[in-house]
Chain A
Amino acid sequence: MNFLNGMTLLLVYQLVGEVTVRLLAVPIPGPVLGMVMLFLTLMIRGRTPAPLENASTALLSHLSLLFVPAGVGMMAHFDRIADEWLPITLALFFSTIITMVATAGIMQVTTRWFSRHENGGGQADE
């Protein structure tokens, strides 16, 4: 029952998210709004119920499996990908590397900067 209750809760939040997004015509995907609402609920309640924790751990620990059917969808787009393979592959490859390196660099610099700032206004040595 435990897992089932947790799963039901996740689906209820997704459903409420999807309905709200459509009613208010906001440009956010339903599951994302569901996630935000669940997060706020957890903040208000102050703890994670065990069934919810079970269901979310189960789903998130097999997260990469969930991408497999979408990946197989590549075969439905072979023509499109063959037509524009150069911009698709290069833009995808380099943009991913640029994003990863830039985000890590910015995070590294800002973390240092703010922790130094807290520990005595930029006086700390490297």
Chain B
Amino acid sequence: MNEKKLKARDFITIGIFTAILWVVQMIIMYLGFLSPFVVAGYSVLIPIATGIPMMLYYARIEKFGMLTITSIIVAILLFIFGMGFLGAPICIVSGIIADLIAKSGKYKSWKKTVISCGVFNLWVSASYLPLVFTADSYQQSLLEGGYDAAFVDTLFTLVTPATYPVIILLCFVCGVIGAFIGKAVVRKNFEKAGIV
């Protein structure tokens, strides 16, 4: 691709990959319906599961703006699904930074792509925000709802404002791991088939 600017075709690709990312993360979110432990595991599961489509996505476009647009769309969707006013900006900011990092490596440098993927996945931490910032009322409502006190305690020692940096770090690390797994799958399948 010689042209640096995104064209109609790229916008279509962005739409498609954002749809895939969203569906994959929705499925994991649905799993979270079954058990609160899955909720606590979002920061591990989502970055790793989306690693495969993400790596393919990086290989398909290689132009500035792809991650920014994706993060804006994800932010809108997060907002609609109640992850709120704080989640959306985090999502967009991490998207733009990830885009800039990847751009600095001209979307070719593997190291920069990995870091960019890690940064991009910081948006996952946004889904914990309601848990963190409304922790007290949330905890109380869980207890009122008849939850086991010991369980609620465990959940809220895992997810508190104090551990929030750890969650952010976890998102980044798992994003990096996801990138490596994704790259391996892309190499094994898509590069071998000559698609990328």
User: Are A and B bound to each other?
Assistant: no
Contacts from A to B (Cβ < 8 Å): none
